[in-house]
Structure 1
């Protein structure tokens, strides 16, 4: 029996929402950095698309090193509020880096993009990893972790929707205008969200003994739950990343509906927000693993119709966006909650305090999946001889719609067959 879990008070709805507050501004970076930043530097600043793509890829490759290191350090820092102190240290680094990255002078070079991009992603990691680790500790019960993850990811979805809607709200699709708006929103909302979270979210003062990393990695290697989670998470994110990378081309070249881009994105992420409370309730009823697996299958089934769509089929594609978007809430909330449970189980079984390291591995799986998704998606289209604007979009339809279904089915198999329930182990700790 985990004494702390059995006596911990249930966090109020306000505390859950306060914990999730930084998730909104952090999510604002996603769409603008991947959709608007590359063409802005490549075209408007004249640095070239290939060079800009290489520079941005290199900045993300550093995450392979920084994510596990930051996760490990967030476990090692002594004293109370260790997670919050690390987040506070990353916040000014991120904001200053975004000032130079998103609002550059006209004569900047490639090194400007690379170095400030590297600094911005490091600042983001210093915030994000301790932030998700805190969600595993603030409420030690399985359902409490799900509520915190849902609060964080629900507000992150709101931030993502806001980012997708910026061109509509600004009345301009110019990359410079969108990136400037992102900076000011980050500069205002991130400190505000951090202080609300820090003031309202409890961080336990007593931690379990830390485990030296040389003893930790062999234990991770033999952790079946962790292997099942990371495998399913990687494949599922790979399946999500391929259509994300090809979304603009599919809508413009396959459907001929470029004017609907913003609204389709809003529909997809809006469905994810609307479904998030339902997935939380379903997870409590049938278990997180089964709920997540069901959401993956739902997305696979709905997406299997995408390759058959053609020019003018906007309404049918909108339906696919809505149905597959329903699974987004589960994708964002449940794996993080399962990872928090696994960290708690590992700690109960003598693994020590390694929540930061565990969430570092989860973040690493995400970033590797997205990097592979871009390479696979664009690589296959290149091998097929497809270029943007081509009239024959068969290769685009298959790569965009069929390939993700294969990875989704593989992810569902891992979740149902290799990942074991976490609630059964922790049921005795639930108040």
Structure 2
């Protein structure tokens, strides 16, 4: 049986579709939501950052609990996942398609809490199901990751361009996006329904303490925290950078698509390279390329759209490696020490979202403190701060990630 035939027989395309929906509720929301509420309702960037950071503190308790719940779901898993998907869709509609029923800041907080709580639970269940699906089959986690993360990156592309692309068709592009997302969520749930099964061999839930006692797991979680933060930074500041630093309003959507399309199309390539050369050396090469791309960004100014488009392709390709290889490496480790996967991916989800908390609580207030306001007219000091935050901070963090990965042994 061919590789494609095997993947289809294993229903990997269902994972592609579900990953696409989940990813649409992740990074694109951090790209659009703060700017949308700042532009539409005049909400302070510092206040939005405080709300997002408060939610991350809530995640410290919530995500491990959600992982505990996910590990104990067996025969009724499909129904519970469906309920989570309904909350996800309803929160997206409330965030973008409903006029705030209370103060916009608190409405934002309420909707974003529902959205990301559902997102966390579904993500934990989804990645844990991948462990149950593949087990310890050689190369299985990288193969499933290629299908899953290609879908995730495709979903990011679609969610990133949709609000901009819909401008010419409706007066409320974000509302149209929210309703379309809700419909896609229901379809993805239907296609994944048969997959929500227990592992073929019953496994006792693994306590968090036992997972964290594993040295390789701790190093992978630390690496994920440091390595994912540059993406959180660039995603949150992308729209501001294009509009204000490049002075290129209207180019946000095409450049976002270029960035995430490069990530999506590169994912199968990174997966194939990892199967041949190993995940660690391939990921190190991608990290070095990312540092070069961020370094080039430091030299750009108003009007440098073409150069930034090339940077979007290069940096987007490196994100394809990050989002494909790191989860596969972590899933492979979980298959050995915590086959149920729920608690492990609860920690993974928590670490991933803390990178966005870093941006929310530190960088947005720094940007606003430098005199930056959403829009094209900003003082040079504010634009200089935006450039440093968008390009210099990710470069430093990527270098730290390279050092961590170099010193990390992935097998015991």
| TM norm structure 1 | 0.84
Report what 1:334 is aligned to: 325
Please say if 1:372 is aligned against 2:372.
no
Q: State the match for 1:312 in structure 2.
A: 303
* Equivalent residue runs for 1:113-132 within 5 Å: 113-132=108-127
Conserved 8 A contact 1:239-1:403:
yes
Query: Is the contact made by 2:216 and 2:409 (CA closer than 8 Å) also made in structure 1?
Result: yes
Is 2:79 the partner of 1:91? no
Q: Partners in 2 of 1:106 and 1:206 — Cα distance?
A: 48
Look up the SS of the partner of 2:99 in the other structure: coil
TM-superposed deviation, 1:135 = 0.9
Distance 1:48 1:400 in 2: 19
Task: From the superposition, tell whether residues 194 and 17 of structure 1 become closer, same or farther in structure 2 (CA, over 3 Å).
Answer: same
Shift of 1:369: 1.1
The answer to whether residue 200 in structure 2 is matched with residue 209 in structure 1 is no
| Structure-1 residue corresponding to 2:190 | 195
1:231 aligns with 2:222: yes
**Aligned-residue offset at 1:312:** 2.1
Distance in 1 (CA, whole Å) between partners of 2:80 and 2:284 is 34
| Cα distance in 2 for residues equivalent to 1:285 and 1:106 | 52
Q: Distance in 2 between matches of 1:238 and 1:48?
A: 23
3-state DSSP of counterpart to 1:208: coil
Distance 1:364 1:329 in 2: 21
- Alignment partner, residue 395 of structure 1: 385
Q: Which runs of 5+ in 2 are unaligned?
A: none
Contact 2:87 2:115 in 1 (8 A): yes
What is the aligned partner in structure 2 of residue 6 from structure 1? none
Structure 1: which 5+ runs fail to align?
1-8, 348-352, 426-431
- Name the counterpart of 2:26: 30
Cα gap change, 1:376 to 1:112, in 2 (>3 Å): closer
1:338 to partner: Cα distance = 1.0
Q: In structure 2, what is the equivalent of residue 363 of structure 1?
A: 349
Tell me the SS of whatever aligns to 2:251.
Answer: helix
User: Judging changes above 3 Å, is the alpha-carbon distance between structure 1 residues 67 and 142 closer, same or farther for their aligned structure 2 residues?
Assistant: farther
Give the corresponding residue for 1:279. Answer: 270
The reply on whether 1:61 has 2:46 as its aligned counterpart is no
Q: Would you say the 8 A contact 2:221–2:351 is kept in 1?
A: yes
Instruction: Provide the rounded CA distance (Å) in 2 between the counterparts of 1:132 and 1:15.
Output: 15
Q: Cα deviation per residue 1:48-79 (whole Å; 9 max; x = unaligned)?
A: 555444334433432222111111211123x3
Q: Which moved more, 1:305-314 or 1:199-208?
A: 199-208
Q: Secondary structure at the match of 1:256?
A: coil
Match of 1:75 in 2: 71
How many correspondences in the alignment?
Answer: 401
Among residues 120, 144, 151, which one is paired with 1:148 in the alignment? 144
CA deviation map 1:120-142 (0-9, x unaligned): 22222221210111111101224
TM-score (norm 2): 0.88
| RMSD, aligned CA | 2.7
Displacement of 1:239 in angstroms is 1.8
For the pair shown, the structure with the greater C-alpha radius of gyration is: 1
